[in-house]
Amino acid sequence: MQSIILRGIGGFYYALDEAGEVHQVRAQRKLRRDRKPKVGDRVEISPGEGEEDGWILSILPRKNELVRPPVANIDVVVIVAAAAAPLPDLQMVDRLMINARRSHVDVMLVISKCDLDEGFAADILNQYRGASCSPMRVSSKTGEGIEALKAALRGRVCALAGQSGAGKSTLINALYGLDLETGDLSRKIDRGKNTTRSCQLIPVEGGGMVLDTPGFSLLETDVFDPVEIKDSYPEFIPFEGNCFFQPCYHASEPKCAVRDAVEAGTIDPDRHGRYVEILQDMRQRWKERYN
């Protein structure tokens, strides 16, 4: 019977079949060894009889998959960053974008809590103006941007990702009238408290699905050849053909058209600055891996 995995907790999975019924199932040993089922996976199951658990027999081919958050078959990753506490880590936002693009998943950037700091929200949106991520601002408190975001996500499978406390679960509640658990920020350090503990896929009106994921406080990019990082920066594309060196890292090479565009203000300097930091970090880790 074909089903989709909504949730996995402590070795159990909850799989929704085509008739709308949810089955508690476990993964067969060979699956656990080869590749673990992920939330969003389409699977073949044999449901259990009565009180018995059923089994996942096989995982159907994946359209795409992400490592962080660990989900499969996603149409779009909605990165949520707050315009107020917790202070957004924009390098983490950039790394999330790189990971998603490398997995061929669309990216959207949503600035949450706009009711708390309009100015900061505008500043962040401006940094991502060329990044092909349809930057949007929302407030789950005032309702600003909620209808527009809902329309943009309609009929798609979307995973919300970002720092703990950014307001992901609150936003899903505002979008779809749900009652997911949300949490305060820790008062001393203005950080989230990791309220959401596991990934959960929720079918919503309009034929789409939304995925709530646990926030993180640290995110590493997968290790890959540093020369490929620039390919996840759409704002570089119009310029990079004119760089003197090919390929060019757009970091410290002379006659770099991308850096010229940064100087001219066409490419955002903060976003480029963080790109160079991520590049240096990746060079280090790439070297460690192959030496």
Ligand X SMILES: Nc1nc2c(ncn2[C@@H]2O[C@H](COP(=O)(O)OP(=O)(O)OP(=O)(O)O)[C@@H](O)[C@H]2O)c(=O)[nH]1
Residues within window 213-232 making contact with ligand X, judged by CB under 6 A: 214-215
Question: Does 135 help bind ligand X (rule: CB under 6 A)?
Answer: no
Binding site partner of 258, from ligand X, Mg ion, Zn ion, none, Cβ cut-off 5-8 A by kind: Zn ion
Given candidates 99, 140, 163, 169, which one binds Mg ion under the rule CB under 5 A?
A: 169
Report which residue's Cβ sits closest to ligand X.
Answer: 215
x/- contact string, 246-285, with Zn ion (CB under 5 A)? --x-x-----x-x---------------------------
Residue by residue, what is the 3-state secondary structure of the chain? CEEEEEEEECCEEEEEECCCCEEEEEECHHHHHHCCCCECCEEEEECCCCCCCEEEEEECCCCCECCCCCEECCCEEEEEEECCCCCCCHHHHHHHHHHHHHCCCEEEEEEECCCCCHHHHHHHHHHCCCCCCCCEECCCCCCCCHHHHHHHHCCCEEEEECECCCCHHHHHHHHHCCCCCCCCCECCCCECCCCCCCCEEEECHHHCEEEECCCECCCCCCCCCHHHHHHHCHHHHHHHCCCCCCCCCCCCCCCCHHHHHHHCCCCCHHHHHHHHHHHHHHHHHHHHHHC
Binding site partner of 250, from Zn ion, ligand X, Mg ion, none, Cβ cut-off 5-8 A by kind: Zn ion
Binding site partner of 243, from ligand X, Mg ion, Zn ion, none, Cβ cut-off 5-8 A by kind: Zn ion
Which residues of this chain interact with ligand X, rule CB under 6 A? 112-113, 115-116, 139-141, 164-170, 182-185, 192-196, 214-215
Which residues of this chain interact with Mg ion, rule CB under 5 A? 168-169, 195-196
